[in-house]
Amino acid sequence: MKQSMIHQVTSRGVIQVVSEDRIRRLEICTQLSNLGYTVVPLAEIVLSPAPQHSEADVCVLLDAKGIAEYAFKAETLPEQSLIPVLFYPAFTAGQTRDARQAGGTGSLAGMVPFAELKPEDSLESVGRLLDSAIRYSRLSRKCTGLIQELNTRSTRKLIGYSQAIQNLRDRIADTIHLLTPVLVQGAPGTELALVAEMIHDAMFLETRPFIKVNCSSLTIENVERELLGYFTDEQSSYTDEPKWNPGRLEQAEGGTLVLDQMQLASLPVQSAILKIVERKEYLSPEDGLLKKLNCRLLTLSHVPLTELVAQNQFKRKLASVLGETTITVPRLNDRREDLALLTEYLLSEVARSEGTVPKLLTLDGLETLKRHNWTGDVQELRNLLQHVSRVDNGPRLDAASLQPWIGSEALADPEAMVGMTLREMEQKLIESTFARCGGNRENTAQMLDIGLRTLSGKLRSYGYPPRGGPDSKRNFTVRRAA
């Protein structure tokens, strides 16, 4: 092993010694080297934007110009990239003020000064102070690295590398450690719930409750019952007292409470929620005592709350409280470059759930997906891939297998069939499949997995001409069920 490498391994730490005075710099470098440190003599400061690749553990400044340079660079680098600073010898208040002014907009507070070395200090005390600064620097660097790794892990479920998705990852990382309520908004079909789960998982290293409340189902009669809890007449095996059912606020204590579908909450429900969120406490029906709101609040909305406020459909004060920190999930149409990775991921997900082999996405299939307008966003893509995987047994996902189904209203909006009878849903499915098969009854029957006679009988009941009759070979279009 080379002598320099041995010295690096046995070194107590790496120290930058910065001064324009070469003689003074050499004198201090010799003293610190004799104490067992690896010394880097510099005429000016060298800092790396990445904290993991900093050139030294600490920095020792020997003159006022070094302070000015460090103060200037502190304005251009993130705080976690800076290293502890030691002044040697100590500067007077006037000297530090002059140095700060010389550094332009540099702020001495942003320099993260650690301590001052005084000329009267013994070598032993200087060594202890340097060792303390080095330990602080290394622990701080390690902590920053762990936080970044944790943030990266928490956002791996966001598939894609487009600028829009990278910005979303950065935004999530910025809000993880905030204690203020967070509003996650995006178009229908965007994965708002996934973003909420990632924020929860990244914030709480241990198991904590993750409770969701569907605000669209809350009414003025049941909002307090659902949020605060209630007694039932059921009696337990051990006591004759009524059974207490904790509300969502109590269930989420110490964890995260998600207010889902907030855009559908009625005004009276909004008032009840505002009363709790604004006061940060609530009166428990169990014991009649005031309890603190001890959970992280995440709100999901498919419509910006500011738009609802402008339409007098949402309380301005509640929107201000819930939207103190806002994350906007980008549309799939705004990140089409992620379609290849996202489709392959969803195909693997579908294959696992179905117990099959994932389909291979072809180039023409990818081009078909890129040309489509994804009104239902990621949920529409997932529904499309699930449907094609079930009706098409081929090994590839190409344009031919996608074209009959892409853009289907039922796949784009799963709620389109809500309220329809079973007969109407059956008619809609048969007609749409018949039209997409170009009027070919054999292919339609095979795709629907029913008999050809059964299909012909269904079509006759819907008013289609019999097979081989007049107009039996006309071009069919999807018809809405009445």
CB 101 within 8 A of CB 71: no
In this prediction, residues 268-277 reach a mean pLDDT of: 92
Measuring CA to CA, which residue among 116, 27, 18 is closest to residue 66? 18
What is the reported pLDDT for 415?
Answer: 53
List the CATH code of the domain at 335-461.
Answer: 1.10.8.60
Q: Measured between alpha carbons, how far is residue 421 from residues 207, 242, 409, 424, 459 in Å?
A: 43, 41, 17, 5, 18
Examine domains 3-147 and 180-330 and report if their fold is the same: yes
What is the reported pLDDT for 333?
Answer: 93
Mind listing the pLDDT tens digit for each residue in 402-440?
A: 888 887 665 655 555 555 677 777 887 787 777 767 678
In this prediction, residues 39-58 reach a mean pLDDT of: 71
CATH fold for domain 180-330: Rossmann fold (3.40.50)
What span, in angstroms and rounded, lies between the C-alpha atoms of 410 and 301?
A: 22
Domain ranges of the chain: 3-147, 180-330, 335-461
What is the reported pLDDT for 99?
Answer: 52
Torsion sign over Cα 307, 312, 315, 316: positive
| Residue 262: pLDDT over 80 | yes
90 secondary structure, DSSP code: P
Q: Pairing state of beta strands 396-397 and 281-283?
A: unpaired
Q: Which amino acid is at 287?
A: D
Mind listing the pLDDT tens digit for each residue in 341-353?
A: 999 999 998 898 8
Q: pLDDT class for 231, splitting at 50, 70, 90?
A: confident
Lowest-pLDDT range of 81-90, 246-255, 276-285, 449-458: 81-90
Mind listing the pLDDT tens digit for each residue in 203-228?
A: 765 578 899 999 988 888 888 889 98
Q: Phi and psi for 70 in degrees, rounded to 5? A: -65, -40
What span, in angstroms and rounded, lies between the C-alpha atoms of 351 and 386?
A: 9
Per CATH, the homologous superfamily of domain 3-147 is Response regulator (3.40.50.2300)
- Give the pTM: 0.59
Mind listing the pLDDT tens digit for each residue in 354-404?
A: 888 899 999 999 999 999 999 889 999 998 998 888 777 788 999 988 888
For all residues of the chain together, what is the average pLDDT?
79
**Who contacts 32 (Cβ-Cβ below 8 Å, separation ≥6)?**
15, 17, 39, 60, 130
What span, in angstroms and rounded, lies between the C-alpha atoms of 132 and 116?
A: 12
What is the reported pLDDT for 420?
Answer: 62
Beta bridge partners of residue 60, listed in sequence order: 17, 86
What span, in angstroms and rounded, lies between the C-alpha atoms of 278 and 215?
A: 18
470: which 2 tokens? 């007049």
What is the reported pLDDT for 362?
Answer: 93
| Residue 300: pLDDT over 90 | yes
- First-to-last C-alpha distance (Å) of the chain: 85
